[in-house]
Amino acid sequence: MESRSEITQRSVRLKRDLSKMLDQAIQLDRAVKIGWGRDGEEKPKKQETGVMTHLPAKLKLRLLGDMGDLVGSANNGALFEVVGTVGHMACAYHQDGKCTITKQTGDSVGLGMTGGTVILRSDTGAAAGESMSGGLLVIRGNAGNRVGAAMNDGTIVLMSNAGEQIGECMTGGRIVVDGRIESLGKGAKSRSIETEELVEINDLLSPHSFKLTMDATIIETDPEDGTPILAPQKGSSGRFDGIRLCAHGNALSTSHMVTIDSTVKMPTTSTGLDLRSPWIPILTKGPSKGGNGIDSQPCMTDASPRSIDFVRISEENYSTLREELSEAGGAVIDIGGFPNLSESVIHGLAVVASGFLPARAPVVLMDNVDHTERLLRMTAELGLAGAIVDVRALGSAPAIAALPTVGIVLSKQKVEMSVLLRIDWTPTAADILTVVAAGMHGILAEPFIGDEAPPTTVKKIATTLDADIQSREKEMRGWLQQMGAASLSELKRHHLRANSYESAAMSGLRLEGYRQPLPMWSRK
């Protein structure tokens, strides 16, 4: 049986080949058939995931075979037919065009759909049309639970039976069911269809050879039955105040060269994305030119990346990834930036990212510290460059506790990977080196947090951040010289000390003045 890493590599190759083929098909105004041999014999694809996404307008495409997750997602105007089954999140974030799937689909088909038409000619899983805000979703077969959950606009037509909690938390749009309804969700109510509505909807269905009867039911929002939810804040507390850096050997001379650069790369490649220093700033958009520091240091951005920047992938920018990633230097899949991702969908997202990025560009996963074990395991299974552990958690977990959590899980991994820590404060030079000494690759953090007058213009942000980056570089080199380390790779846990019993208990570090860690960290 193929491993996830092998399926990922095969899927990426298919995605890259298809991207070239689709562009040529548009130029030649030809329809594309995938899965048929030269003589017309069927050669169905199996298990490929994260392919046939972000399809451009004017494309006509027919695909044979049973595919994985995310097929048809972020369609931007293509006419697309799948003669086979698909996995989860098919046609998610569908914007325009038409997609027809002839056989069974997984969960969350049409998630976040904003426009266009999706036709399902067989059964589908749970949460079809979840968070939908436009377009038409037609389901010919049976549907699972929570159809139309949290939808706020658009039309879902279900021509068979619906599961439980249909329309749960919906705030707009309509769900039309010409079959049995097991139960309505909170915030939804049902009524009989009116004659004018029946005519209108049948006009929409006529091109697809479907027709509703007067037995159909309309499900719409019930403002009096909703259950409002206030999501708790995520954060961290305490920073790394209970830890100090200490020397381990003699200080280096001031003339001794000290290096703080490193590289994040995929395991199968010899090159990757070079980090000028171990602090990767987090910005909404890629910075403008500001000086040598910022011009050669990668940032993590949501949009408009430079060729050295990581693009953070979330549901907010998923529809524009084809353009964004083609210009970027790497990608960060923000697992928390999507609703309830399964591991198979994360696998598909890794293919999407790798398929659109330049060859050998690194892809990393990001999730909060409570999911560290799964995060690093999946990074290894998918053969990705590394992972970012976000210290922010429900209830503001102590930031210092993330160090042993990551260290213990990382020590169990059998493959090489770059692990970085995302923090929710602007780091000092000592903070950055503390994370590196704890066994990680560096830090991701926003600049200017807590500044009374942070820069606001694009140019001012770049020039101020450039000065901050270079200032921290000087400080880090000074620390390393005094600690007797000529490079980041020489920093180890023996360069760290806890200065209180509480910080020693949480971090597992040696308490100041003690020869060994506290007993709870030595017990087997």
Q: Do residue 444 and residue 501 come from a single domain?
A: yes
Q: Answer yes or no: is 473 within a domain.
A: yes
Pairwise CA distance, residues 175 & 147, whole Å: 8
315-336: pLDDT as tens digits: 999 999 999 999 999 999 999 9
Of 319, 311, 314, nearest to 354 by C-alpha is 311
Q: Answer yes or no: is 229 within a domain.
A: no
- Domain residues for the domain of 205 are 4-221
Buried b or exposed e, range 250-284, using 16+ CB within 10 angstroms: eebeeeeebebebebbbeeeeebbebbbbbbbbbe
Q: Do residue 261 and residue 140 come from a single domain?
A: no
Task: List the structure tokens of 256.
Answer: 């001794």
Residues 6+ apart with CB under 8 A from 436: 278, 442, 488, 491
> Which of 29-43, 226-240, 246-260, 277-291 has the weakest average pLDDT?
29-43
**Position 401 confidence tier, pLDDT thresholds 50, 70, 90:** very high
What is the number of structural domains in the chain? Answer: 2
Residue corresponding to tokens 């562009």 = 23
Rounded to an integer, the average pLDDT of 127-153 is: 97
Q: Write out the DSSP string of 423-475.
A: -SSPPPHHHHHHHHHTT--EEEE-TTTT-SS---SHHHHHHHHHHHHHHHHHH
Instruction: Return the pLDDT at 252.
Output: 93
- Rounded to 5 degrees, what are φ and ψ at 482? -70, -25
Rounded to an integer, the average pLDDT of 287-303 is: 95
Distance linking the first and last C-alpha atoms of the chain: 36
Instruction: Return the pLDDT at 43.
Output: 67
Q: Do residue 143 and residue 282 come from a single domain?
A: no
Pairwise CA distance, residues 438 & 280, whole Å: 17
As a whole number, the mean pLDDT across the chain is 92
196-249: pLDDT as tens digits: 999 999 999 999 889 998 999 999 999 888 777 888 889 999 999 899 999 988
465-478: pLDDT as tens digits: 999 999 999 999 99
Q: Answer yes or no: is 357 within a domain.
A: yes
Question: What's 398's domain CATH number?
Answer: 3.20.20.70
Give the residue from 221, 253, 280 where a domain finishes: 221
Q: Answer yes or no: is 520 within a domain.
A: no
> Which of 10-14, 36-40, 219-223 has the weakest average pLDDT?
36-40
**Contact predicate 80/118, CB 8 Å:** no
Q: Do residue 328 and residue 437 come from a single domain?
A: yes
Pairwise CA distance, residues 91 & 93, whole Å: 6
Question: For residue 341, which amino acid is it?
Answer: L
**Position 522 confidence tier, pLDDT thresholds 50, 70, 90:** low
Of 155, 199, 207, nearest to 176 by C-alpha is 155
Instruction: Return the pLDDT at 17.
Output: 82
Q: Do residue 296 and residue 441 come from a single domain?
A: yes
The pTM for the full model equals 0.94
Q: What is the DSSP letter of 185?
A: P
Buried b or exposed e, range 397-428, using 16+ CB within 10 angstroms: bbbbbbbbbbbebbeeeeeebbbbbbbbbbbe
523 pLDDT above the threshold of 60: no
Task: List the structure tokens of 441.
Answer: 């690759």
Instruction: Return the pLDDT at 231.
Output: 83
More confident residue, 248 or 445: 445
Rounded to an integer, the average pLDDT of 1-13 is: 82
